[in-house]
Structure 1
Amino acid sequence: MTYVDLVLRTLSTGGETEALIGGDTRLTRSQARDLVFRLADGLTRRGVRPGDGVAVFIGNTPEAVLLTVAVHLLGCRLVYVPPEPGPGELAALIEKAEVAAVVVDPGFSDRLDGWHLQDLPGDPVERTPAADFTTVSYTGGTTGLPKLAVHPERSSVKWEAVRRMPPSTMLCNTLITHGSGAGVTRMALVTGSKLVLGPSRFDADAFVRLARDEEVATTMFVPPMMYEVLDHPDCPGPQFLGVSVGGAMLSPHRLRQAVERWGPVVFQAYGMTEALGIAVMPATEVDLSRPETLRTVGRPVPGMEVEIRDGDVWVRGPMVMEGYWGEPPLRETADGWLNTGDMGYFDDNGYLYLNDRSKDVIVTGRTSDNVYSRLLDDFLVTLPGIRQAAAVGRPDDALGEVVHLFLVTDDDNAVDFDSIRDSVVAELGELYQPSGVTIVSQLPLTKVGKVDKRRLRARFR
């Protein structure tokens, strides 16, 4: 039994109970169930068949959430398309994904062609959910080229266990096309919780209002979001039953503030696009008198194996992707083991701590998204006057990291930072916007001739 079976079963009961809220839209369970089947019918009428890839370029709306369920209902491959990439990377992603259809929110249609979501619903034709389907999520990889992590539907036991959790009111802060947002939406639908969708672009004012007006009980943050809420003049008090934080390294100082504000309900969850759940630090084990409990990401989740190899965190288990679309499955290349790209260690009690990322990905923005520095480096050297370029993350109290550029320029050609910034945004999107630049005579190199970004980052410590 898949999560889709459980969602439809839940939506078949308590028909007038509110199920999804987003913007001006409020859907009951019966309305949500009806729309799932109508969206599935619309896809079928347009020729979508089991096994086809369906790319969804969508925001945080009730209709978009139910579209993802409808794609899986038909046994299709759901391809999440995030809004961060620039036009060139979006086109490369869609081509690589080999999809039969693209569905877009009207607000995104100026960036990607496809069927408009509001035009998609057909008739409420009852269908038996497919037994097999996959979810494909975008990740830029360390080279900056788009990669697509494939997660097949598995672990029905997990969803049966989730279904036994008591329903509550859950607020989704992250995009539903990201792993955390997708997980929150599915958990809410399976448990029969009321799902409240925050705006597609996080806004602390909106969070405060929704948390108050909808009497939110559980929510999930990436660290910069939580920091903004904690600093908000109307930050909610201890109303939550559970607050999950993940997606980037979390400041122990800020975690302490959250626990002091909301009580012993805040916990860390460690995962990534390629491995959706790796470790968790339960709220009940966070002890303000023991600082180490504020730094650890906890112990491995049940069923997951975690090893430290030469300082790198390796994982294997049911939460790990099958592989990247178009590339050999992990089980054929490394016995199912995945190098997370994070560096860490275990203490004597089996708690995992993360030290740093071993790759050069810059994690920034209020939603802790990835900037792939190689992609930025390659673009920068196409601009007039720039001979060499290296983008690194500079520590930032509000965003975790911001993009900083080290440039080697032509002696007789001064560069305009504002022009560089505008060109980057136009080509790669706002997420890649640099916050500062340092002009150098040469870039430091490793012994094998590669740019030594560790030495560049060390300038900010």
Structure 2
Amino acid sequence: MTYVDLVLERLSTDDEREALIAGDTRLTRAQARDLLFRLADGLVQRGIGPGDGVAAYVGNTPEAVLLTVAVHLLGARLVYVPPEPGPGELRALIERADVAGVVVDPTFSTRLDGWHLADLPGDPVERTPAPDFTTVMYTGGTTGLPKLAVHRSDDRWTASATTPPMNLLCNTLITHGSGAGATRLALMTGSKLVLGPSTFDADAFVRLARDEQINATMFVPPMMYEVLDHPDCPGPQFGVVIVGGSSLAPKRLRQAIEKWGPVVNQRYGMTEAMVITTMPTTSVDLDQPDTLRTVGKVNPVMEVEIRDGDVWVRGPHVMDGYWGEPPLSETADGWFNTGDVGYFDSDGYLYLNDRSKDVIVTGRTSDNVYSRLLDDFLITLPGIRQAAAVAEPDEALGEVVHVFLVTEGPDVDVDRIRDSVVAELGALYQPRGVTIVPRLPLTNVGKVDKRKLRSQFR
């Protein structure tokens, strides 16, 4: 049994119960089930069958969510296409993905041509779900070429079906890992799924949380920070808040727990390897600061090893490999290097120092500056709301530390900031450059875009 079987099972009961909501569209379970089969039929009429690739370049709409299920219903290969890549990279992604068709939503973007989502539905032909399907997800490559992580169908997600129904608000794009996971969880559990805008907006979150009586949601950290800073930030109405996708500042985690209660759960994972570790709030001790820094303990179905400081993982949540490349089972015995630098403590809790690509290598002896540690420390200083440390090229030292800061006012004592960093983290971490910005650039999924910050020095 796959998640598609469970979705159809949920949509076949309690017909008038609301299932999918976005903007002015509100679909009951019966309406969602009917549209799911009509979208599948539209794909069949266009020649899509088991194993064929279908690229989805869509935003956060009920129709788009059901499209992704329809592709899997047919046993086809779903290729999520996010909006971040530039025109050349976008074309390369589609070419490399070897798809039979591209479904686009012009109300979301007109950068790609394809079958219009609104024109896709055919007849309400009921079909038995295929036993196998594939999901392909984009992830930026260090070479500049798009990389496509391949995940095969299995039953690892169906254990979540025992979760009671919720009113779940999806904040990230459904074509990203967290958004795809949130929509799948909601449909499997028979929850009411409320879709936030395709581009996150804290005002919209506050309104939807109130109007739709949201009791479950997922954030990437910068989104959560915006909500916590909002003048109308919701109180303790949530039964569960999941946060992951990038590093979480301990100060902000404490703030979230104090605001919403012991419901904030961290998950460490990535496109290539989902749900590596978990850290429930019940394991956090606010009197023990280290419990705010860890990403938790290893998911029981996963294996994690530290090799030369890098975090390696293996297990059912790890991708098969990259599309067009040999599978991990052939090249690395199933192991995958996450690109994160970390360590375990004596109790089995995993701590992440930084992303390998974000480590700043500086000094006469080429020492490592872990930008995440500096980011987390900087926002504990008075007047600093957000911080991002990146490498700035330097002829003498190779790289030096440059920090971008979002502050509460125009008066910033840069010397005081430097002195505080040296006192806490040492001279190696002292910022050579400090830039005050009104906001940090974010990717479409809501993560701080350090690559864009680094590009300012080219």
Fold match by TM threshold 0.5: yes
Aligned-pair identity (%): 74
1:395 is displaced (CA, Å) by 4.8
Q: How many Å separate the matches in 2 of 1:253 and 1:242?
A: 19
Q: How many Å separate the matches in 1 of 2:11 and 2:220?
A: 29
Q: How many Å separate the matches in 2 of 1:392 and 1:146?
A: 28
Aligned partner letter, 1:351? Y
Q: What TM-score results when the alignment is normalised by the length of structure 1?
A: 0.80
Aligned partner letter, 2:241? V
Q: Which residue of 2 aligns with 1:310?
A: 308
Alpha-carbon contact 1:159-1:190 (below 8 Å) kept: no
Q: 1:291 to 1:229 in 2, by over 3 A?
A: same
User: Given the alignment, which residue of 208, 218, 221 partners 1:210?
Assistant: 208
Q: Which residue of 2 aligns with 1:86?
A: 86
Alpha-carbon contact 1:22-1:198 (below 8 Å) kept: yes
Q: Which residue of 1 aligns with 2:10?
A: 10
Q: 1:284 to 1:3 in 2, by over 3 A?
A: same
Q: How many Å separate the matches in 2 of 1:314 and 1:49?
A: 36
Q: Which residue of 1 aligns with 2:184?
A: 186
Matched residue SS, 2:357:
coil
Alpha-carbon contact 1:142-1:360 (below 8 Å) kept: no
Q: Which residue of 1 aligns with 2:71?
A: 71
User: Given the alignment, which residue of 205, 219, 222 partners 2:220?
Assistant: 222
1:433 is displaced (CA, Å) by 5.1
Whether 1:112 and 2:112 are equivalent positions in the alignment is: yes
Matched residue SS, 2:305:
strand
1:393 is displaced (CA, Å) by 8.0
Q: How many Å separate the matches in 2 of 1:180 and 1:10?
A: 22
Aligned partner letter, 1:303? V
**Within 5 A, what are the aligned runs for 1:256-335?**
256-335=254-333
Q: How many aligned positions are there?
A: 386
Q: How many Å separate the matches in 1 of 2:161 and 2:108?
A: 34
Q: Deviations over 1:388-440 (max 9, x none)?
A: x9999845459xxxxxxxxxxxxxxxxxxxxxxxxxx9xxxx9675588458x
Q: Deviations over 1:92-116 (max 9, x none)?
A: 0000000000000122452001000
Aligned partner letter, 1:219? T
Matched residue SS, 2:247:
coil
Q: How many Å separate the matches in 1 of 2:401 and 2:83?
A: 22
Q: 1:234 to 1:435 in 2, by over 3 A?
A: farther
Alpha-carbon contact 1:267-1:286 (below 8 Å) kept: no
Q: Which residue of 2 aligns with 1:60?
A: 60
Alpha-carbon contact 1:313-1:343 (below 8 Å) kept: yes
Alpha-carbon contact 1:18-1:194 (below 8 Å) kept: yes
Q: How many Å separate the matches in 2 of 1:391 and 1:143?
A: 23
Q: How many Å separate the matches in 2 of 1:121 and 1:195?
A: 21
1:63 is displaced (CA, Å) by 0.4
Query: Which runs of no fewer than 5 residues in structure 2 stay unpaired?
Result: 360-370, 376-389, 408-442
Matched residue SS, 2:107:
helix
Matched residue SS, 2:225:
helix
Q: How many Å separate the matches in 2 of 1:397 and 1:172?
A: 26
Q: Deviations over 1:185-206 (max 9, x none)?
A: 0000000000000000000000
Whether 1:97 and 2:82 are equivalent positions in the alignment is: no
Matched residue SS, 2:136:
strand
Q: How many Å separate the matches in 2 of 1:59 and 1:160?
A: 25
Q: Deviations over 1:264-295 (max 9, x none)?
A: 10111000000011000012111211111110
Aligned partner letter, 1:333? T
Q: Which residue of 2 aligns with 1:39?
A: 39
Aligned partner letter, 1:241? G
Aligned partner letter, 1:358? S
Q: How many Å separate the matches in 2 of 1:163 and 1:86?
A: 37
Q: Aligned-residue CA RMSD in angstroms? A: 2.5
1:208 is displaced (CA, Å) by 0.2
Q: Which residue of 2 aligns with 1:238?
A: 236
Query: Which runs of no fewer than 5 residues in structure 1 stay unpaired?
Result: 365-372, 378-388, 399-424, 440-461
Q: How many Å separate the matches in 2 of 1:93 and 1:293?
A: 40
Matched residue SS, 2:257:
helix
Q: How many Å separate the matches in 2 of 1:116 and 1:196?
A: 23
Alpha-carbon contact 1:312-1:344 (below 8 Å) kept: yes
Aligned partner letter, 1:191? T
Aligned partner letter, 2:94? I
Q: 1:392 to 1:321 in 2, by over 3 A?
A: farther
Q: How many Å separate the matches in 1 of 2:197 and 2:221?
A: 17
Alpha-carbon contact 1:360-1:392 (below 8 Å) kept: no
Q: How many Å separate the matches in 2 of 1:288 and 1:210?
A: 30
1:122 is displaced (CA, Å) by 0.4
Q: 1:392 to 1:197 in 2, by over 3 A?
A: farther
Q: 1:78 to 1:394 in 2, by over 3 A?
A: farther
